[in-house]
Structures are given as structure tokens and as C-alpha cells.
Structure 1
């Protein structure tokens, strides 16, 4: 037996007619509180076997509670970033304390709005004049990464469709609703990133959150960012609708809708390829994306010739956002290729 600080090499033995066995390090067995007859779970992971004592759910290193102290004159954005960072790295209890006697009304309202709008599964469980305690109540088995990402994609798609509908009807109220929905996408984005960070620290969590390997964590992390960007561009379309002085001509609307439908179909196909693990479909998305350039050029010609001068800039920004949505769909498809490249390897 060869021994290193964190690694041991042990010889496989053959017993009976068909059983292979390997002994376990005594130090590990004792430290885990195991004995003869104890159960361990054996998990296959990328060519390795992971042994987990039955009933062990969380590693001792997993963060549980963190406290931050804020002053009355502290920048609100600094407070927001600190709370989000603690949420993302996996703290289940976050305590905000005032350095002085009280947490200001502005800071209190900011923390409440952040909790409600951005942090999935988080509630304010206690509140005093100088302290607010946040508790993450949802656990990873209750909402898998895949289900959370599906929800993100549905919202992003809805935002895009509604933004284009607001453009068609010059519906300012609908445009405002699209902009507000961006917070909902951010909520799921933060939640997924939190779960992926926890999974990287504890391999057992990977299956609990609906993934199959550590490699998936990186791929999903990047995809989440792309979906978030797609939602951002849908919100930008809505913002540009609000800045228009008059409704675009029918020909301009037609070319923009042609672009929009094309980009939306690419996004939906890329997400379908992700969840179905479809390498071929992802490859098709990437190939089709090249056509967005020609569609954009066609739209720009219509815009320049048939749009009021004061609105040209806003319409062009809408066109750019639609193109970026298509490009992000292609980026997602590239990640899908990387996650499923084994499908094209000859066996």
C-alpha cells in the first residue's frame, strides 16, 4: 500500500467466484463514525467511485451563518452586493447588524426589497431596530437546477415576446411590465449559481440538484449567464419602446418581427438541445445563427428609409438587441456541444 497525505493506493482482491473487494482506511472509517455493518453509498463519477457514509447529507465545511455590520451612511449598493455574495456562496443564515443604534428606514426597505425580488427561498425570519436576520428556507432537492433554469428561460421568452408586442401596439404599460420581469430572471439566476457553487464543494449535491458531473456545473453556470443576458436585451427592447415618439411603419415592424421570430426560435432550440442533450440540434442552431446578419442588414435598410429621424436610434438599438439574443442562443448551443461531445466519438 502506498500512502500520501490525501491519497492511498490499495490493491483490489478477488474473493469467492465473482466478488472484488478493497479495504478502507481505518482512519477514515473511525473519523466517519462507521463500524462493521455500516452502510456506505457508492457513486460512479467520471471513472471514479465516491464513497459516502449513508445518512451524511452536508459536509462540515459547508457555510451556515454569516453576519455583516453596516453603518448608517453606507452605500446601499455595497450592502446589496454583500448580501448577494453571501447568498451565492451558500450561507443559509445571513444577519445584518447596525454599527450604530438602528438600521435606517432606507436600508431596511432596501434589504426587504432585495430579499423579495432577488433571493429565491429566502425570508426575513426576525427583525429588530438594529438587526435583520435572513434565512434560506428552500433546499436544493426541492427546486433542481434544471427546473430553475427552465423557469428562467420561460420568463426570458415571455419578456422577448411581450417586448415585441409592446412595440407593435406602442403599449407603454406592457413595456414597463417587461422591464420589471427582469428582477424575476435575476432571482433564479442567483439561486442557480448558489446551487452550483455548493455542488462544486460537495460532489454528492451534484445529483441532488439534477446534474450528472462537475463538468456540468461549469457549463450550466455559463448558460445561466447567457439566459440572463437574453432577458436583459428583452428589457432593453422594452426601454427603447418607451423612448419612441411614434409607432414604426408596418414594413419596419414586419422586418423586426422576422428578425425577432428567428432569434426566438434559435433560443428555444438551443434550450431544447440542452435539456434533451441533443448534439445535432445544438449544431444546427450554431449554423443557422449566421443568417441573423443578413436579417439585420435588411431591417436597417427599412429603418433608415422609413423611420422618423428622432426614432432611428431607438429602433436600431432594438435591432441590435434582437441580434444579440440570437448570438447568445448560439453561445448556449456551443456549451451544449461541449457537454455532449461524447455523442460524436466513435466507439
Structure 2
């Protein structure tokens, strides 16, 4: 816990953890982004502006339908600035709306072009922080599912959760490009790539749960007690599976796999139960699909740790 300090007559400041600052390679005067996400703040190191000129791409005549694809490609594939020439206000407006799904993106319009600036330096991102962010998003979505099953109208909250999830996943995808560029030939490249692939499975799990949230929310809720109990357990299992991606414990991965298997069996029984309504069954089918994604993510981490353990044993033999 940190205390807020007063700066001047009206500003409040708080110090950043030294370990995080050191890991990010930050120093006094470096720019960072402070992103408001519900009741939380996320701090993301900004890219060094000196790299812009060396990483600029110019495109001409981009259709409005391709604008968001260009934005995603720029964010994930590496160019720090993309200039779209000879485009109209429709492209600019579409890009402005799409920036809500990305951290550290600036879109500027001038008389003849639209510039997309990517301001997040992948080399300064903390993979564990990205994974924790996805874990938080996944837990929130699982909790929304239980609320929808109880009859609450959570469609607006679900849309906000979808945007937060997209931010986290695209941030992980941008980090991946940094891994490809900097980890080539290093021993930890496989482990890092496995974690990033597991994050992708977490994103699929969360997106699938959002479909279940919409199904239950539109169906009016009023789910059975058995369904509510299963969805409550899902919130815990989903959070454990997501946080396990950053874990280095083979035992923990094995425990999470057991929890997922137990809940999958429980959900399968509910889907075919006479006490389960059609709306619940449809939503639970999506939950089952989400659990499969969580199982894949956890299995990937388990196998990676198991291989590393075996290689370590062979080197010491």
C-alpha cells in the first residue's frame, strides 16, 4: 500500500515500485501512459519518440472497412507510425472509435491525411503484468455471467469488459513482436512464446463467456441454483487458470487442470439435466467451450514446465 502525497496546491502524486521501474528501464522524465479502467489505473511505458522516423509507413486510399485492420496491424506488427493519405473523415472517425480497444494509440487528422501513432514500447512491457490484466478481465467476465444468470441486466458492463479484454490481448500481441525480435536463440524463448499463446487461449475463453453473458442477460436470468453454483465456481477456476499462466509451478498447473476437469464434468451434467432451461443450456454450452480453452492454456503451461524440468534433470545427470 502507498500513500498519496500532495504536489502543489491541488495535485496528488504516488511513487512507483522501484522493482517495476527497474524492470521497465525507466528513468526520471520518461513518458508513461496512465489508463483509466473502471475503478483501476494501469501504467504503461511509452515508446521512445526517437524511433518514430525510422518506423513510419505510408498508405494511400485505404477504405473505411479496412481502417480498423490497419490499426490492428500497426499495433501488433511494429510500425510506430502509419500515415493514411487521401482518406476522408469516415476513416478518421472509425479509427477514433476503434482506439478504445488499444492502449497507447493516438490518431491525428490533418488536411490531407490521418496519422496513427503507436506509443507503447514492447521492449518495456512486463509480461506478468499483461497476464495479470487478462486474468482480471477474465475474472470480471465470469462474475458478470453469474450476475446475468441471476437476472441482472449487464449488457453495458459486458461491452466495457469486452473493450478491456481487447486492450489486454492486443497488448500481449504487441509484446509478442518484441519477443520475436529480442529472444531469438535464447533459452527462454519457448517458455515466453508458450505463455503468450496461453494468453491467446485466455482471450478466447473470455470472449466465449461474453457470449454466455449476453444469452443469459437477454433471457431474463432466473437460473437454477445448480447453474448459479456452477457459475460461481467458474469465476474462481477462470481466475486460477489465468494467473497460472504466469506461474512457474508444475504442481500448481496440475491442480488447476484437476479443477477445470471437475467443473467441466459438472457443467456437462447440467446441460443435459431436465431441470436446466433451454436458455441456461445454451449459455452453459458456451461455458463448456470456454473451459476447453482454459484447459488448453493450462495444459500448454504444464507441458512447457514439464519439458523444462526434464531438460534440467538431464543437464545435471
Range moving further from structure 2, 279-288 or 153-162: 279-288
Partner-residue secondary structure (3-state), 1:291: helix
Q: Which runs of 5+ in 2 are unaligned?
A: 1-47
Distance 1:263 1:188, change over 3 A: same
The partner residue of 2:163 within 144, 162, 183 is 183
Partner of 2:3: none
CA distance in 1, matches of 2:255, 2:127: 25
CA distance in 2, matches of 1:229, 1:133: 31
CA distance in 2, matches of 1:297, 1:276: 28
Distance 1:293 1:118, change over 3 A: closer
- The answer to whether the aligner puts 1:217 opposite 2:192 as a matched pair is yes
Distance 1:247 1:138, change over 3 A: closer
The partner residue of 1:266 within 215, 237, 242 is 237
Distance 1:200 1:294, change over 3 A: closer
Partner of 1:123: 106
The structure with higher relative contact order (CA 8 Å, sep 6+) is 2
Partner of 2:254: 283
CA distance in 2, matches of 1:183, 1:219: 24
- The answer to whether the aligner puts 1:332 opposite 2:294 as a matched pair is no
The partner residue of 1:68 within 51, 55, 59 is 59
Alignment of 1:226-265 (within 5 A): 226-244=201-219, 246-249=220-223, 252=224, 254-265=225-236
Q: What is the CA deviation profile of residues 49-108 of structure 1, one whole-angstrom value per residue up to 9, with x for unaligned ones?
A: xxxxxxxx9xx9x9711122225xx2x33221122112211111111112xxxx333221
Partner of 2:266: 295
**Retained in 1: the 8 A contact 2:245–2:298?**
yes
CA distance in 1, matches of 2:267, 2:135: 24
CA distance in 1, matches of 2:221, 2:183: 54
Q: CA deviation at 1:191?
A: 1.7
- The answer to whether the aligner puts 1:106 opposite 2:90 as a matched pair is yes
Partner of 1:171: 152
Partner of 1:43: none
The partner residue of 1:94 within 49, 73, 82 is 82
Larger radius of gyration: 1
Distance 1:77 1:145, change over 3 A: farther
- C-alpha RMSD over aligned residues: 2.8
Q: Which runs of 5+ in 1 are unaligned?
A: 1-56, 207-211
**Retained in 1: the 8 A contact 2:84–2:114?**
yes
Partner-residue secondary structure (3-state), 1:248: coil
Distance 1:293 1:329, change over 3 A: closer
The partner residue of 1:85 within 73, 91, 102 is 73
Q: CA deviation at 1:293?
A: 4.2
**Retained in 2: the 8 A contact 1:162–1:175?**
no
* Residues matched between the structures, number: 262
CA distance in 2, matches of 1:333, 1:247: 31
Q: CA deviation at 1:301?
A: 4.6
TM-score, scaled to structure 1? 0.67
TM-score, scaled to structure 2? 0.73
